[in-house]
Structure formats: structure tokens, C-alpha cells
Chain A
Amino acid sequence: DAKTTQPNSMESNEEEPVHLPCNHSTISGTDYIHWYRQLPSQGPEYVIHGLTSNVNNRMASLAIAEDRKSSTLILHRATLRDAAVYYCILRDLADYKLSFGAGTTVTVRA
């Protein structure tokens, strides 16, 4: 499985943007970049995914570097409910499973 590297933790203030980096220097051409998050005492939930182009949805934006060796998940205005562990996962189109790393623990200060 291709590897991703994320910071262990990040802190943010409420109402401010959060930029979560993910390095994946060994990404292959068919790997999609997925982000899931896990709120306290809950199962993981899908956030966003992309292949080459930047992606936006109601939860977040995903910015993908031109060489695809890194990406950034952007939470535009953090709320206390965004405090969670965020996982960056590479997944081939034919891959049926999710390979989670340790993720980034995001703390949001009121």
C-alpha cells in the first residue's frame, strides 16, 4: 500500500481556516487521495476525495499539488464539531479497502 505522512496534531481557533497537509511521495498514477475523519466516540466518516484536480464539497476542499506528491485538506471555517482525527488515504480504483495511518488530531479552540 502506498504510504502517506501527516503531522500528528494541529490546533486551530474556531471560525478560522484549517490546512491539513498530507505527503504521499510514492503515489502512483491510479491512486486517488481520500480523506476521512473520525469524531470522538464515532466511526470514521468520508470527507472528500480527488485524483488530480482540486475538489470542493460542503464539508471541505482538497488541494492537490501539480506533481501529486502532496495534498492539503482545507476546512474553511473550523467549528468545535470539526475536532477529530483526520486520515489521508491513498486508494487505487480497484482497491476495496481503506488503509488508515495514524492521522492528524485536530483540536479547535473556542
Chain B
Amino acid sequence: DAGVTQSPTHLIKTRGQQVTLRCSPISGHKSVSWYQQVLGQGPQFIFQYYEKEERGRGNFPDRFSARQFPNYSSELNVNALLLGDSALYLCASSLVLAGQQETQYFGPGTRLLVL
């Protein structure tokens, strides 16, 4: 079975531009989470979507937005890019089971460089 896939793998943008990152979850997984990983740090939670609804949001500005489609794939949008948005953006999918700790399965990430 295919794992979590993300596109593009790398991206270069300039300050002020907008970017859209894409994620396809593992087949059967209805939850998608997005994380930002700045070089040298652990990933930081941005959003989680479950059944096309936002389930949670981390401490990120409104420039960051996301959505989940009927096929459970997801997009992360970042507007008005800043140099500090340069990072590895990770997508994770999970199978939500009531009363159980859900394991998150991560994709390889999209590396964004803002110049």
C-alpha cells in the first residue's frame, strides 16, 4: 500500500507570495494533520482535519489555512510568505478509532524555501 504522499517535494518562493502544498493520505485514513519543521527543531503542529472539518489548530497566524477534500486529501495554503516560513512541511494521516491512541503516519514532507 502507498504511504502518505506530498507534493511538491521542493519549492522556492519569494517573500509576499502564496503557496499551496498538497497531501494524499493513506487509503482509508480520514484524518490529516499538518506540521511545520524548522531546521534543527522538532515538528510543530499546524492543523488537523477529520472528515473534512477542522479538528484542531496550532499557534500559527491566519496566513496559514488548510482544507480537506471529499477524497480526504488535503491542501495547506500559506499567504504573504515570510522568510521565517522556510521549513519542511509535513503531512500525517491517521485512522481515527474511538477510545484509542491514533498513530500518525508521516509523508516525506515538502521543503519550502522563501527568498
Spell out A's residues near B (CB within 8 Å): 32, 34, 41-46, 49, 85, 87, 91, 93, 96-103
Instruction: Take A43-B92, A96-B55, A97-B48 as given contacts and tell me if A87 and B42 are in contact as well, using a CB distance cutoff of 8 Å.
Output: yes
- Residues of chain B at interface, number, CB under 8 A: 26
Nearest 10 pairs of A and B residues by beta carbon? A43-B106, A100-B42, A97-B45, A46-B103, A100-B43, A44-B106, A43-B90, A96-B48, A96-B56, A43-B107
Q: Within the complex, what minimum Cβ distance (angstroms) separates A70 from chain B?
A: 19
Query: B25 within 8 Å of A by Cβ?
Result: no
Instruction: Take A99-B45, A101-B42 as given contacts and tell me if A93 and B101 are in contact as well, using a CB distance cutoff of 8 Å.
Output: yes
Partner of A42, one of B44, B102, B108: B108
Q: Is the Cβ of A91 less than 8 Å from the Cβ of B45? A: no
Q: Is the Cβ of B48 less than 8 Å from the Cβ of A34? A: no
Q: Which of B36-58 contact A (CB under 8 A)?
A: 41-45, 48, 50, 55-56, 58
